[in-house]
Amino acid sequence: MTQNLIPRPVDREQFSKLQTIFPITALLGPRQSGKTTFARELGADHYFDLENPRDLSRLENAQLTLEKLTGLIVIDEIQRKPELFQLLRFLVDTLPSQRYTILGSASRDLIRQSSETLAGRIGYYYLAGFRISDITDVSRLWLRGGFPRAYIADTDEQAFIWLNQYITTYLERDIPQLGILLPAASLRRFWTMTSHYHGHILNYSELARSFGISDMTTRRYLEILEGTFMVRLLRPWYVNVGKRLVKAPKLYYIDSGIFHCFQHITSQAVLDTHPKLGASFEGFALETVCRSIGLASDAFYFYRTHNGAELDLFWQHDGKNWGVECKFTDAPSITRSMTVVCEDLNLEHLWIVYPGKEEWELNGSISVKPICSIGGTWKYGK
């Protein structure tokens, strides 16, 4: 099987909308998430892969090469030639027959570089691994994660061999290419240590002491992992309810397969009995929901008071407040915490996402939603 056989209709539709609005579209995401395959199916008139020495050479005199082209032009791994951003601004302003799609694996650097020169001309789209709506085996997606080569591997063993190699390549090649000169072994140990915080409130000082580094270095390492799409740092939502609120972020591994790799969870049987089972499902479900909702990553929050009331995911849409709780249980029920959170945050609706297959309402504002029913676009109806 090849990843070309698994269509990605939701991502295709959403990306096409951006193409109709902006002359330049940026396709961001981690390496091996399928960006190149996705881009090659866009029907580009011209394609440049800057990891290909021949294409890199063709763009040594970029203006002479690009200004004579028309139609859709794709430039892959554009972070290798950041000086192109200034030229692209000139080209799209003077040549209306041109449209560009640029691809990059370093989100923060790429966005910073492009936003300085392409404001109003560029739309950004984040492409992660496969969605639940793309595939048929939710359990496999949860265990192996959404990277195409891991998901389509013939066996779990092959999938985790690939994931281990992916992590090594990320540490030894991708990080140095971003100009981050950190020892690969040190960052691997740090990454392994952070996997124990998956689904938990971060304690920067505790993590720094455990690893023998400063708080500032800890924050820097986490920024690297966040900026290259490896982890999500979910910030707390502040609201004036007269209660003491938790103010540190929660950490989640974006890809469940990467998390399982660090936890040595290499089969469904191991996952079923692992102490991190609940945290693993919470992270997988939360990421599935966030992708379905489709807002920017900084539009999502969690909520927790020191009295114990908490909500895994909070966001605002259409002038209303919404929430999701992720529960690994076969029969979710209303808890005191949910009642308090609904009142504190004035939630329009709270969904409890769980691994079962039935959907039902618990009351007028709280309902149970199976993870397998989460499609490409979030449905706000109760």
195-207 tens-digit pLDDT: 999 999 999 999 9
Mean pLDDT to the nearest integer, 128-136: 94
User: How would residue 182 be classed by pLDDT, with cut points 50, 70 and 90?
Assistant: confident
User: Is it the case that residue 60 has pLDDT exceeding 90?
Assistant: yes
For residue 2, the model assigns a pLDDT of: 44
> Which pLDDT value is given to residue 89?
94
Say if residue 111's pLDDT is above 60: yes
Number of neighbouring beta carbons within 10 Å of residue 120:
9
CB count within 10 Å of CB 206 equals: 11
pLDDT at 241 over 60: no
Please tell me the predicted confidence (pLDDT) of residue 176. Answer: 79
Per-residue pLDDT at 1: 42
> What residue type is 243 in one-letter code?
K
**Residue 27: left (phi > 0), alpha (psi -120 to 50), or beta?**
beta
- pLDDT (average), residues 292-319: 92
pLDDT tops 50 at residue 284: yes
- pLDDT category at 102 given cuts 50, 70, 90 is very high
Two structure tokens written together for 47: 């394609």
**At residue 156, does pLDDT exceed 70?**
yes
How high is the mean pLDDT of the chain? 91
**Residues 132-136: contacts with CB under 8 Å, at least 24 apart:** 132/288, 132/371, 132/372, 132/374, 132/375, 133/9, 133/10, 133/374, 133/375, 133/376, 134/6, 134/7, 134/8, 134/9, 134/10, 135/6
More confident residue, 17 or 181: 17
The answer, yes or no, to whether residue 3 has pLDDT greater than 50, is: no
CA R_g for the chain: 22
Percent of the chain at pLDDT exceeding 90 = 70
Average pLDDT over residues 65-70: 96
Q: pLDDT confidence of 245, banded at 50, 70, 90?
A: low
* Closest by CA position to 220, among listed 182, 184, 192: 182
Distance CA 138, CA 371 (A): 9
What local confidence, expressed as pLDDT, does residue 24 receive? 96
Residue range 221-230, pLDDT digits in tens: 898 888 888 9
Q: Decide: 91 and 98 in contact? Cβ < 8 Å.
A: yes
Yes or no: say if 263 and 157 are a contact pair by the CB < 8 Å rule.
no
By CB atoms closer than 10 A (0-12, 13-18, 19+), residue 21 is exposed
Q: Which residues contact 235 (CB under 8 A, 6 or more apart)?
A: 249, 298, 301, 302
Q: Which pLDDT value is given to residue 20? A: 96
Q: String of b and e for 343-379 (b: at least 16 CB within 10 Å)?
A: ebbebbbbbbbbbbeeeeeeeebbbbbbbeebebebe
Task: Of 147, 137, 131, 136, give the one whose Cα is nearest residue 260.
Answer: 147
Q: What is the mean pLDDT of residues 312-322?
A: 96
Dihedral pair phi/psi, residue 359, rounded to 5°: -125, 135
**110 — pLDDT class (breaks 50, 70, 90):** low
Top pLDDT among 177 and 168 is at 168
pLDDT at 307: 80
Q: Locate the domains of the chain by residue range.
A: 3-126, 132-373
pLDDT higher than threshold 90 for residue 359: yes
Could you confirm whether domain 3-126 is CATH 3.40.50.300? Answer: yes
Reported as half-sphere exposure (CB side, CA atoms, 13 A), residue 255 has a value of: 29
- The confidence band for 242, taking pLDDT boundaries of 50, 70 and 90, is low
Write down the pLDDT at residue 84.
Answer: 92
